[in-house]
Structure 1
Amino acid sequence: MKILVINSGSSSLKFEVIDTSTKQTLVNGICERIGISDQLFTYKNKVNSYVEKETKVSMPTHKDAIDHLLKVLTDEKIGVIKSIEELDAIGHRVVQGGEYFDDAVIVDEDVIAKIEELASLAPLHNPANVMGIKLMRELLPNTPNVAVFDTAFHRTMPDYAFRYPLPHEDYKKYKVRKYGAHGTSHKYVSSYVKDLLNKEDSKIIVCHLGNGASISAVRDGKVVDTSMGLTPLGGIMMGTRCGDMDPAVALYLMQKRELTASEMDTRLNKTSGLKAIFEKSSDFRDILKGMEENDEKAFLAFNMFCYRVRNFIGSYILALNGIDAIVFTGGIGENVAKVRRKVCENLEFLGIKMDTEKNEIRVDGTADYTAADSKVKILKVETKEELMIALDTERLVKGE
C-alpha cells in the first residue's frame, strides 16, 4: 500500500508517503508558516533525489497547503504517483485519544466528534489534527482516513500506574489521569527491540529523548508505565518543560509573582527545563558546546537531565521486575553519546554495562553499545513514527 502520513499542526503540515510493501519512504517534507507571512514548502523525493527546500509558496490556509502537496505528488517530473487514486489511505497523527481509543481507528463522524471533545486535554494539537482529517476527507472523499493516537499504546497501563491520588470525582468527571505521549515512537522502538531479543516476556525501557522527552517501561509488548502524564509536561525535564516537581511550586510562584493560570502554564511549558537552567538555549547542542567552554550552567543542565533519566530507569526496572534492554531514541538519544554514557554510568550492579568505545562511534540506524560481559542490552534505535503510523493505517484498512 501507498500511505500518505499527515501530521497537521496549527501553522504547519508535515507529510510523508510510504510504500508499506517495502517500508520505504517515497517522499517527505513540510509546509510551514501556513496562514502566516512567507509560507515555506520543503519537499524531498527519495526516489529521484529531487529536493525543494523552503520554497516560498502561497498557502494562506491548510487547504491551500494540501492542494499544493497533492499537485506536487502527482507532478510528472518530481512526483511519486501518477494520480491521487494511487494513495490507498491517509494516516493521521492525533496527539490525544483519551480513554476512547486504545488503538488506531478508521475515521468517521463519531471519531471526529470524540477527538474534538478531547481538545481540552491537548488544546495545541487535537484541533489542528482534526482540521487535517476534515480537509483530507473533503479533498479525497473516496480514500480511507485512519487516526493514529499518541496515547493509544500507553492504554495498557494498569490503573495503579495511571491513576493520580486525587478525589475519584476528578477522574470520573474530568478524566484526570496519566495518558502518556510519544506512543507511536515507543511502540515502534519497543516492537523492533522485542523482535531483536526474540525472547518471551521481554522487559524493555525506551528512552525517547529529544526537545520533548519521555520514557516507557514495556513488558512483552505492553506498556507498564510511562513518564509523561495528563499532558506532555510531566516526566523528565525537557527542552522548555519542567517535568515532574512538587505541585505546590506552581501555586507558590503564582502567589509570589502574581501570575494567572495561563501565565504559569507558559512558564512551566515554554521557559522551564533545560532552557531555564542553561539560560542561553534549550538546544542540547548548545549545552554541549557550553560544557566544552566550561560553562557551569551547561554542566548543571546536563547533569540534571541525565539524573532524571536515570531515576526513571531505576524506577522502571522495579516496575518490570527486571530488565532485558535499555533503548535510546529521539534526537538526543540517537545523537548524543555523552548522554547515553552518563545515563548508563555505574550501573554494573544491575548487570548493565556499556561498551564506551562503541558508544563514541557515530553510526546511522540501530547500534549496539552492550559490553561483552553485560547482562542487559544497551541499544540505539532510530525511531520511525511515520512508518509506524503507515503500518497501523494499512492494518486497519485491510481489516487485520
Structure 2
Amino acid sequence: MNAKYVLVCNPGSTSLKYKLFQMDDEQILAEGRIERVGSDDSIFIYESSTHPTKEEQLHIPDYQSAVNAVIKVLKEEMDRKGIELKNISAVGFKIVHAGKKTGTLELNDDVLEAMKKYSFVAPAHNPPYITAINIFKKELPNTPMIGVFETSFHSTISEYAYTYGIPKKWREKYDIRRYGFHGASHRYVSERVSSLMGKNNIKVITCHLGGSSSICAVENGRSIDTSLGFSLQSGVQHNNRCGDIDPFILLYIMEKEGLSPKEVADILVNNSGLKGLSGVGNDLRDIEESAYNGIESAKLAIDVFCYEIKKYIGSYIAILGGIDAIAFAGGIGENGIKIREKVCKNLDHLGISIDIGKNRGLENIERLISDEDSKVKVFVIPTNEEIVVARECIKLLYS
C-alpha cells in the first residue's frame, strides 16, 4: 500500500503554519511557520525529520510568497526522501465558519462562497483562510483541498442549547444559532482524557485557553454545550475579543459615540477582552507581569478571566450532572500555572482540587495535576488539532 501524506495548514492574518504528516504512523515529516507575512523582515522557521530547526529572515510580501516558500521547502524535504510533491494526498485546513456547512468537506467554490458570507463574524479567520486555500489550489491543482470545520464537533448539541432567544424569522433567515468552535481541540483533548482514564463513558469539561478561548461540556465523546456561540466573540474573554457581554451595551455605545457597526466590530475584535481590560496588551504573560508589579487593571483582567472560566465550569457540572474530569489545553491552559490554580481554587465542594507541586511541574507535558483526594481528575493536555485534521482528511478520502 502506498504511503499517505497530508499537509495541514493554519493561516493567520500575518502568519502561515504547517505540518506534513505521513499517516501510516502519523509521523511528522516536516513542520514550520512563517511570521510577519507582508513585511520586509518575515521570519521562516522550519524543521524536518532529517534536518534540524532552521530560521531564515526573508522578504515575504504576501500570501502567494508565503505559500511558495513553504512548497519550496517541502519539495526539498520530500526529494531527500524520494517522494514527489504530487504524492501528498490532501492539504487540510481547520476551517472556522461557514454557517450550516460543516463536517469534513472538499473546499470547492460553493464552500468557499459560504465562508465568505461569514467573514464579518470571523474576520480574523475566514479571509486569510480563503486567500491561502485559493493559492494552494493554484499551486497544487491536482491535490484535494479539504476543510475540517471547527463547528462539526458541536453538531451534537441539542436544539434547546443552541437556540438564541431572538425572533424565529431572524434565526431561520440568517441561520443564527450557537455553532461553537475549537472543535478539533475539544475532540482531541476529550479523547485523550478518555484514553488516560481507560474508559469511554466519561463526562469531561475541556478548557481550551489561549489567544482564543472556549469551554466545552463533553459526555461520552459528544459535545453537549460550549461557550462560543454564533461567532468567536462570545464566551470567556479572549486576548483581543470581548467574550460575553450584554448586547444593549453595544447599542448604547453606538448611540452615544456615533459609531457604525463596522467600527464597533473592530473594537470588539481587536481592542477588547484581556487587552481592553488590562490596558497593557493582549499577552497574558505581560498581563501577569504587570499584575505582579501592582497594575490594578492587569489584576482585574486576570480576575475576570478566571472568574468566567470558573462560572462556565460550574454551569457545565450542573448540565452534565457531575463530571469525571477537567482538562486544560491551549497556550494558556498548558502553560498558565497561576491561571489553573486560580480557576480550581475553592472548588473542593465539587470534588475538584489540584496538587500544587504537580501543577507547577514541567510545562507542555501531558499530566495529571489533581491531588489524591480529588474526586474529579484534573489534566493538562497539550492539544493536537493538526492530527485531528489529518485523520479526518484521510477518512474522507479513503472511507
TM range (shorter): over 0.9
Question: What's the CA shift for 1:162?
Answer: 0.9
* Structure-2 separation of matches of 1:163 and 1:275: 30
Does structure 1 retain, via aligned residues, the 8 Å contact 2:335–2:363? no
* Structure-2 separation of matches of 1:247 and 1:52: 47
* Structure-2 separation of matches of 1:233 and 1:24: 35
1:78–1:369 Cα change, 3 Å: farther
SS at match of 2:393: helix
Aligned to 1:159: 159
1:37 and 2:39 are equivalent in the alignment: yes
Question: What's the CA shift for 1:158?
Answer: 0.8
Query: Mean alpha-carbon deviation: is it higher for 259-268 or for 372-381?
Result: 259-268
Question: What's the CA shift for 1:9?
Answer: 3.6
* Structure-2 separation of matches of 1:334 and 1:159: 32
SS at match of 2:217: strand
* Structure-1 separation of matches of 2:186 and 2:305: 20
Q: Which runs of 5+ in 1 are unaligned?
A: none
* Structure-2 separation of matches of 1:243 and 1:372: 34
1:319–1:261 Cα change, 3 Å: same
SS at match of 2:315: helix
Aligned to 2:150: 150
Aligned to 1:18: 21
Query: Mean alpha-carbon deviation: is it higher for 143-152 or for 211-220?
Result: 143-152
User: 1:109-142, CA deviations, whole angstroms, 9 ceiling, x for partnerless residues?
Assistant: 4433433444444344223323322332332232
* Structure-1 separation of matches of 2:33 and 2:74: 13
Aligned to 2:5: 2
* Structure-1 separation of matches of 2:68 and 2:290: 44
Aligned to 1:311: 311
* Structure-1 separation of matches of 2:311 and 2:109: 43
> What amino acid is the match of 1:50?
P
Question: What's the CA shift for 1:200?
Answer: 4.1
* Structure-2 separation of matches of 1:209 and 1:87: 32
SS at match of 1:90: strand
Aligned to 1:66: 67
Question: What's the CA shift for 1:43?
Answer: 3.3
- Residue identity over aligned pairs, in percent, reads 38
Does structure 2 retain, via aligned residues, the 8 Å contact 1:153–1:187? yes
SS at match of 2:374: coil
> What amino acid is the match of 1:71?
K
Aligned to 2:88: 87
Aligned to 1:328: 328
1:282 and 2:291 are equivalent in the alignment: no
Question: What's the CA shift for 1:39?
Answer: 5.7
> What amino acid is the match of 2:100?
E
Does structure 2 retain, via aligned residues, the 8 Å contact 1:215–1:312? yes
* Structure-1 separation of matches of 2:97 and 2:385: 16
* Structure-2 separation of matches of 1:37 and 1:93: 25
Question: What's the CA shift for 1:372?
Answer: 0.7
1:340 and 2:343 are equivalent in the alignment: no
* Structure-2 separation of matches of 1:169 and 1:293: 51
Does structure 2 retain, via aligned residues, the 8 Å contact 1:27–1:80? no
Question: What's the CA shift for 1:338?
Answer: 0.8
Aligned to 2:350: 350
Aligned to 1:241: 241
Query: Mean alpha-carbon deviation: is it higher for 256-265 or for 160-169?
Result: 256-265
* Structure-2 separation of matches of 1:38 and 1:78: 29
> What amino acid is the match of 2:74?
L
SS at match of 1:3: strand
Pairs within 5 Å for 1:131-210: 131-210=131-210
User: 1:142-189, CA deviations, whole angstroms, 9 ceiling, x for partnerless residues?
Assistant: 222211111111111111111110000111001111111211111111
Does structure 2 retain, via aligned residues, the 8 Å contact 1:106–1:397? no
Does structure 2 retain, via aligned residues, the 8 Å contact 1:72–1:79? no
Query: Mean alpha-carbon deviation: is it higher for 106-115 or for 230-239?
Result: 106-115
- Residue-pair matches, total: 396
SS at match of 1:38: strand
> What amino acid is the match of 2:44?
T
Aligned to 2:269: 269
* Structure-2 separation of matches of 1:318 and 1:77: 51
Decide which of 45, 53, 57 is 1:55's aligned counterpart. 57
Q: Which runs of 5+ in 2 are unaligned?
A: none
Does structure 1 retain, via aligned residues, the 8 Å contact 2:367–2:380? yes
User: 1:360-379, CA deviations, whole angstroms, 9 ceiling, x for partnerless residues?
Assistant: 11243201012111111100
Question: What's the CA shift for 1:107?
Answer: 3.3
User: 1:248-276, CA deviations, whole angstroms, 9 ceiling, x for partnerless residues?
Assistant: 11111222222221221122222122222
User: 1:73-121, CA deviations, whole angstroms, 9 ceiling, x for partnerless residues?
Assistant: 12269966642023222111211132122x2123344433433444444
1:153–1:194 Cα change, 3 Å: same
Does structure 2 retain, via aligned residues, the 8 Å contact 1:73–1:80? no
* Structure-2 separation of matches of 1:364 and 1:68: 29
Aligned to 1:104: 104
Question: What's the CA shift for 1:323?
Answer: 0.5
Query: Mean alpha-carbon deviation: is it higher for 46-55 or for 87-96?
Result: 46-55
* Structure-1 separation of matches of 2:392 and 2:132: 18
